Structure formats: C-alpha cells, structure tokens
Chains A and B, each alone.
Chain A
Amino acid sequence: MSNSKTNASGQLRTYLSNHLREYGLLFALIAIMAFFQIMTGGILLRPVNITNLFLQNSYIIIMALGMLLIIVTGNIDLSVGSVMGFVGAFAAVLIVSHGLSVAAALPICLIMGALIGAAQGYWVAYWKIPSFIVTLAGMLVFRGLSLWLLEGQSIGPFPKSFQSLSTGFIPDVFGINRPNGTALAAGVITVCLIVWMGMRARARDKSYGIIGEPQALFIIRNIIIAGALLFITYKLSTFRGLPNVLITMAILTVVYAFITENTVLGRRIYALGGNEKASKLSGIKTEKMTFLAFVNMGVLAALAGLIFAARLNTATPKAGLSVELDVIAAVFIGGASMSGGSGKIIGAVVGAFIMGVMNNGMSILGIGIDYQQIIKGLVLLAAVFFDVYNKSKQG
C-alpha cells in the first residue's frame, strides 16, 4: 500500500520534471498575478482592471499567434509594430478622410495586411534573404509609410461601429445585465468543454497505452484552470460583460492551437522549422509554408492595427512603436525556440499575459517606465535561461 503510494509520487515527480516548462509557465503567471494582486491591494483583479487587461493586451496576443508560427519556421518578423501602425493609419484615411463605410474598410485593411505579409514573405521564402533583414527593412518602410499617410498628424475620431471592434461588449442575452448572464454562461460552457476534451484525450491515450499526465496532476491542473476561468468570467460579468475583443482573441487562440497541433498544415510548419532540408526531401513545399506564415502574420498585424486604432479612437504616427519587441518577447517567454521547430500557441498566449500583467501591475504601482523596462528585460532573460538550463539538464 505505502509502496504503491511512493511509487505514484515518484512518477508524479518525474512527470513534473519532464514537463517543468509547461507547468512552470502556468504557475509563473499565477504567481505573478498573486504578487501584483497583493502589492496593488486588490486593484489588479478588480472587474474594471481585468477588462482593461484584456483590452490593453489584445493586439499583442493576436500578433503573438502569428509570430509564434513565424518563429516556429525559424524566422523572425521585426516589422509587425510598423505594419500594425500603418494599417491603423490606412484605416483612418479610408474611413475618416474618405468616408468609406466600416464594413468595406475592414476587409480592405485585412487584405492590405496580407499583401504586406506576402511582399515580405516573398523575399524570405523564395530568395532566401534572412527574415531579420527583410523585416528590418519592412519595419523602416512601413513606419515611414504611416508617417507619410498621416502627414505626421493624428487622424480621428472613428465612427462608433469601428470603435466597437475594441471597446464593445457582448450584450446580455438573458437580460440580467449585472451580473452579465452571457459572460457567466460562456465561462461555464468553456470550463465544461475544456474538462470534457481533456478527459477524452486521456481516455484515448489510455486506450493506446500511452502514459500521460498522472491523474492527480490532471485534476489539480483542471481545477486551477476552471477556477481561474470562472473567477475571471464572474468578475467580468459584474462589470460590463465580455469585451468583443476577448471573444476575437479567444476564437483565434483556439483556431490557431487547433491548426498547429492537429492539422497537416501545422505539422508541416513545425517539420519545416525542425529540419528544412529533411522536410523538403519529404515532399513538403517549404518555401510555400514560409511564405504563408508571413502572409498570415501580415493579416494578424493588420487586425491588431485595427483593434489598436479602435481602442485609441485615432490613428497616430506612433501607433505600434516597438510593439514588435513585446510580441517577440511574449513568444520566447512562452517557450518557443529561436532555432525553430518548437513552441506552442498556448505558451505564446500565456507569455503575452505574463508581459501584460507585469505592465499593468507595475503601472498601477506607479513604477517608472525605466524600471519597468529593466524588469521586463530581466524576466525575458530569466525565462529563456530557465529553458536552456532545463534542456542542458535533460540532455
């Protein structure tokens, strides 16, 4: 009896040490949130601040999804901040200056993003010019272009329908309003879905004799995630409900997680990053994959630009300045490897939240921008060091 118990705890320990990265990230986020919750005297997790957290970080998270794919292919995109600013400016010129309807302007802006991604991806994929150089050029070009488009001025305000991209909320279909019934229902449904899918995957693993996560860990992890989700949706419901942008973000995250983990396309992108030559000799069109990753990044950067402009309700020449660094940092904190082939969508999202919570928490505490940058830099270095150290210990 006691023997089997020690055996189980030993199993638990080996499993934890093999998956330290994934759990570490989750616990790091929780620890950071707890830290700021205490330090700010409870301000961090107030409904209005949670809502703000999502609004403030949405565009970073959306771009982190695309950046993860770029980094998995073994590339980097330094231009996303500029592209985001440029598309915001482009939208302002279309809608505010030329009076185009929002419904027409949105697809045009997204197509513009795709074209920008294609223009950069073309050089990287088909001419093998290092992405660092191509996108460094892109960073300058699109920063310049947005200055030129805006003639150095800010353009705004946008119509209400455009602003709702970012600042709108999902109405309460149940008519309760406080707490918001839709938000509560969405929270409960999501939790049920996550637990159900987790159990299904476990059952499947078991039928194949795969020894996965120990039962205890599975239960603890699910309780934490479910608790956190319910807590957050409850808090949101007592304010104004679910922000539109949260829904956009959540859907995109689920879609990209599915693509990367379960589809042929995703598998090929990871294979390409793991070993480009071997992938090519396995019949994978590696150039096309790289090209598509950049097109995708362009579209997501455009979407981020629209959301950002909608939130500020104006397009400014400074929009998106050095945002690329936050996005790239989020992906690396999330566990992606610079050499390509590894990294997870969920990691990038959690990485972005870690950065976001730190930004938000330090701002509430009134820590100067100087110290904020130093601390963020050190956290990035520590996260990557943790990765490298872990690998060297295993290897």
Chain B
Amino acid sequence: MSTLLEMRSITKKFPGVKALDDVSITVEEGEIHAICGENGAGKSTLMKVLSGVYPAGSYDGEIHYDGNLAAFRNISDSENQGIIIIHQELALIPQLSIAENIFLGNEQANKGIVNWRKTFSGTETLLAKVGLSEAPSTRLDTLGVGKQQLVEIAKALSKDVRLLILDEPTAALSEADSQVLLDLMLELKSKGVTCIIISHKLNEVRKVADSVTVIRDGVTVSTMNTKVETVTEDIIVRDMVGREMGARYPSRETKLGEPLLEINDWSVWHPEQSERQVIKNINMSVRAGEVVGIAGVMGAGRTELAMSLFGKSYGRNISGSVKMHGKPIDVSSVGKAISTGLAYVTEDRKSLGLILDDNIQRNITLANLGNVSKAGVIVEAEETKVAEHYRSTMNVRTPSVFQTVGNLSGGNQQKVVLSKWLFTDPEVLILDEPTRGIDVGAKFEIYGIINNLAAQGKGIVFISSEMPELLGMCDRIYVMNEGTFVGELAAKDASQESIMSLIVTD
C-alpha cells in the first residue's frame, strides 16, 4: 500500500481568521479515510484547498498527490487528476434525466452533437456499478435523495475517479439508504478507489473507515488507524470537542401530565397525484411533559404528517380529527394552528424555517408579531427585548440580535428557529429533524432545550432519522412506514433492531 495523498502543513487564512493552521493529513491508496470535526472546524476548507477551489498559492503548505507535488489552479485541474468531490448539496439538475446529469460537462458528443446511444449505454454501465436500477432517461426529480446521491457517485465514476471525497453524504439519507451508500463505498474500495468521507455520523465512520483524522479549530488533533488501534465513538467525540462528553443525551425525569394533542383517523392524499394516499388513518397522542418520537425511513410520511397537521401545509383531502386538551381544534390554516398551541420546527431550516437575509430579532418575532406591536405598529424596543431574552436563554452565540441569520452556524440557526416557535407560546412542538447538520456540541444543547421544554409541561413530537437519538431522547416512539404507524414502543423497550424489524416486517 502506498501513499496517494499527503497534505503537509496546510495553512489557510481569511481576512481576520485562520481557517486552517498547519493541518497535515496522509491518505493511503485504497483506503477509506474519515475526517471528523465540529461545524466550522475547517473540514470543508481543507477539501476546498485539495480540490483547487482555493487555488495553489492562496494557502501555505504542500500537497503531494500520487508522488508528485500538486498545484491545482481550479477544480478541473484536480478532476483531471481523478480527485472528485461530492458536496452535501448535490450538484445535479432536477429537470434533466439521469443520463444527462451524469455526462453534464462531459457530454458524449461528436463535434457538438450528442451521441445519445453512447450516453445511454454509458449510463447503464455506470448505474450498474453503483447498484441503481433506474432507466437512464428517468428525470432526476422523480428520484429520492438516496438515489440522487448514487447518481452523483455514478457521475464521479464516469470521470475515472481515483480519490472520491464525500462531504456529509448521508446527512439527508435514511438509515436504509445510508447503508446502501456505505456498502457501495466498501465496494468501490475493493475496486481500488480511495475515499475521503466527511461525516457527523460517528457510527458510520466506525463502520467503514480505515483511518480517522480529527480536526478541531483548524488544527489536526489526532489521526487514528482502525486496524492498529480500537477507535470508539467516544474517543472521536472527545477529540472533536476537546473534552470528555459525559452522556450523549442529557437525562430527564419524565413527569407525564394530561393528554395534550390527540389525533384520530388522520388521512392525507398527495397534493398532485389524487389517487395516492400519503397518510393512512393515523392515531396518535402526546401528553404534557412527554417526548414522543416518530421513527421511520425517508419517505415514510413523517414530514407529510407533521405538515398536514400544521395548517394543512401539505396534501389534499385531509380528514380526521385533532384535539387539544380533549377539545376539538381547527388546524385548517397555519395561523389557526399556531393560535391553538401548535408549533412546527421544519426539517429544512434554511429554506422553510428562516429568512436568511434578515437578522435574528426579525426572525424570532416573525410568527408572533402581534405580541410586540400595538395597533399594528411594531414596538421596536419590545421586540429587541424579546430577541435578547431568547438570545441569552437559548445561548445563541452571536454578538447581537442584529446579526444576519444567514451568517450563523447551523446550531445557532436552529436555536433561532426554536426561539421563534417558543415565542408563539406553544403547547405542543413538532420538531422535524431538529439536529440535522449540526455538530455534536450544539446537538447536546438542543437536547437540553428539548428536555427543558418537556419539564415545563410542553408536549414534544420528535421526528428523526437517527435512531440512537430517538432512543436516547424519547419516552415513547411511534414507528412509521408507508404512511401508517406500524408500531408503538416505550423507549425503554425499544432498540434499533426492534424498530427496524417493525419497518421491515410490515
């Protein structure tokens, strides 16, 4: 085994910040190398240096690739050498077919005229390699995120990839889809492709990685080889946050109160395909002080259930009854749902939860402007007071409430979204993937906030694709599959296996 890539003492400065400070990393040919670190630790910057997004000369240090000193001036330089990055936000065009996407920028053409036969047959070969059985002419937007991810990898393979870099590849995937992807990585490895994977999901890192490099605050903290030493999640977390993490989930004493939210016989049809029933006769309940989880694979209908409840924001022909405190409530518009004490924290905080160009203060008060205004005129002093209150109680790390939300880290953004909904004084909060894309430290804080809310007697519905998180946080877990609840488990009796088996045996 020889060394494929060696990055030596890479230092990258931006005005006012040192994003990378003397980072070194060595990747052996044919291995899977994981890079771990909290958000903002410098992982993405390092990969941008490697791929030529930051051209040679804009950083200090040396990159040795395949035995030679490399100086990439741009992305196509590094791609020509077989280094391909797959970013977290997929660089695919939804309106084009799989085949067109795969050969985008690398069209199988003769004098500018596309050779469709070659394009399609080439696509079929590549799709077979990644184990995706879809027709090459399928439009990309008809595929789920998991399959789109596979298309990205097929695209990388079309360019004779030697070093494949995956940035948070499973962040948006369900457990099942993640498993497919991880298996594919192992298979590519057996075919000699070297992989760098950036991930927050440490159990996955442990499953596939041959070596692990941990970066913290722009500095390499440790490099571990899983063949030589035992690498546990706890060790990685310790290196990432720079201290021992006690429990991964803060403990909470559950005090169940009266039933708050009760849903009976809830059915929802797809907004465009009128024959397709997305949610099928669901019954669920949440008590005061209870954290209720909803587990399920991607596409099980969890978000659709939540959004249809929250002001009929999803679906058509919605039927069923909703009760709060035992009395029927009207949730036919978002405004009504909010006023009956419901709040929905979306899974997609950037495009559905926040106004990124606005400041923290304006985002926090948006859903309850009535409370900071008199006769329709906003009392700015009052508004600032409210925003400051949440900034300190939720521990949003920012110099002022006038900071633009788009510039905050994922964890801080999530705290702003939570603040916005707490300011509506809800009784039941539906949290849809509240810890997606945020780092370990911030996750722990979000868990703490959830526990606090439950202790205050709020009801929490916790939707998550990460089963350990549900098991660690919830009192009770509903298991959802294909639009129905296929099981209900007390968290103390549940395990990842018991949840998975409920989904699979359905």
Contact = CB atoms under 8 A, between A and B. Distances in A.
A271 B355 contact: yes
B357 A274 contact: yes
A274 B334 contact: no
- Most A-side CB within 10 Å, residue of B311, B346, B378: B378
B142 interface: no
B352 interface: yes
Given A263-B376, A264-B376, A277 B351 contact: yes
B504 interface: no
A298 B313 CA distance: 30
A268 interface: yes
Interface in B316-350: 333-335, 337-338, 344, 346
Interface stretch (A98-106, A229-237, A280-288): A280-288
Contact of A268 (B356, B357, B369): B369
A265 B376 contact: yes
Residue from A274, A275, A282 with most neighbouring chain B CB atoms (10 Å): A282
Given A208-B384, A281-B313, A281-B346, A264 B369 contact: yes
A283 B377 contact: no
A278 B354 contact: yes
B335 A275 contact: no
B334 A283 contact: yes
Nearest to A265: B376
A263 B352 contact: no
A341 interface: yes
Interface in B281-314: 310-311, 313
B366 A282 contact: yes
A104 to B, nearest CB: 31
A341 B357 CA distance: 8
Contact of A267 (B310, B311, B346, B378): B378
B116 interface: no
A277 B314 CA distance: 12
A262 B354 contact: no
B357 A278 contact: no
B370 interface: yes
Nearest to B373: A264
A262 B381 CA distance: 12
A56 B304 CA distance: 55
A270 B366 CA distance: 11
B353 interface: yes
Interface string B360-373: 00100011011001
B109 to A, nearest CB: 33
Contacts of B313: 280-281
Contacts of B420: 282
Contact of A274 (B352, B358, B367): B358
Nearest to B417: A278
Nearest to A201: B380
A210 B334 CA distance: 34
B377 A262 contact: yes
Interface string A148-162: 000000000000000
A204 interface: yes
B400 interface: yes
Contact of A283 (B311, B354, B381): B311
Contacts of B370: 264
B355 A279 contact: yes
Interface residues of B, number: 33
A264 B351 contact: no
Contacts of A281: 310-311, 313, 334, 344, 346, 352-353
A282 B345 CA distance: 10
A342 interface: yes
A280 B353 CA distance: 10
Interface residues of A, number: 24
B197 to A, nearest CB: 29
B351 A283 contact: no
Given A262-B377, A283-B334, A283-B335, A278 B353 contact: yes
Contacts of A210: 384, 400, 402
Contacts of A280: 313, 334
Nearest to A341: B357
Interface string A184-225: 000000000000000000001000101000000000000000
A281 B338 CA distance: 10
A260 to B, nearest CB: 11
A263 B346 contact: no
Contacts of B381: 204, 208
Contacts of B334: 280-284
Nearest to A204: B381
Chain A interface SS verdict (over half):
helix
A141 B362 CA distance: 40
A267 B371 CA distance: 14
A278 B352 contact: yes
A271 B384 contact: no
A172 to B, nearest CB: 35
A268 B368 CA distance: 11
A274 B378 contact: no
A275 B344 contact: no
A282 B378 contact: no
A278 B400 CA distance: 23
B354 A275 contact: yes
Contacts of B311: 281, 283
B378 A275 contact: no
A267 B354 contact: no
Contacts of B353: 278, 281
Interface in A247-302: 262-265, 267-268, 270-271, 274-275, 277-285
A271 B358 CA distance: 8
Contacts of A270: 358
A280 B356 CA distance: 15
Max chain A CB contacts within 10 Å: which of B346, B354, B358? B358
A341 B380 CA distance: 19
Contacts of B377: 262-264
A271 B335 contact: no
Contacts of B354: 275, 278
A342 B381 CA distance: 22
B378 A278 contact: no
Nearest to B402: A210
Contacts of B362: 267, 271
A271 B368 CA distance: 13
A233 B19 CA distance: 56
A263 B402 contact: no
A282 B358 CA distance: 15
Nearest to A339: B357
Contact of B367 (A262, A283, A285): A283
Contacts of A284: 334, 366
A264 B313 CA distance: 23
B376 A279 contact: no
- The residue among B344, B369, B384 with the most chain A CB atoms within 10 A of its own CB is B369
A274 to B, nearest CB: 4
Nearest to A337: B357
A280 B311 CA distance: 10
B367 A275 contact: no
Nearest to B344: A281
Contact of B355 (A208, A264, A285, A341): A341
Given A281-B344, A283-B334, A275 B369 contact: no
Given A210-B400, A267-B366, 19 more contacts: A208-B381, A210-B384, A210-B402, A263-B373, A265-B376, A267-B362, A268-B369, A274-B358, A277-B352, A278-B351, A278-B353, A280-B334, A281-B311, A281-B313, A281-B344, A281-B352, A283-B334, A285-B335, A341-B358
9 contacts: A262-B378, A263-B377, A264-B373, A267-B366, A271-B355, A275-B356, A279-B366, A282-B420, A284-B366
Interface of A: 204, 208, 210, 262-265, 267-268, 270-271, 274-275, 277-285, 341-342
6 smallest CB-CB distances across A and B, nearest first, come from A274-B355, A282-B367, A283-B335, A283-B334, A275-B355, A264-B369
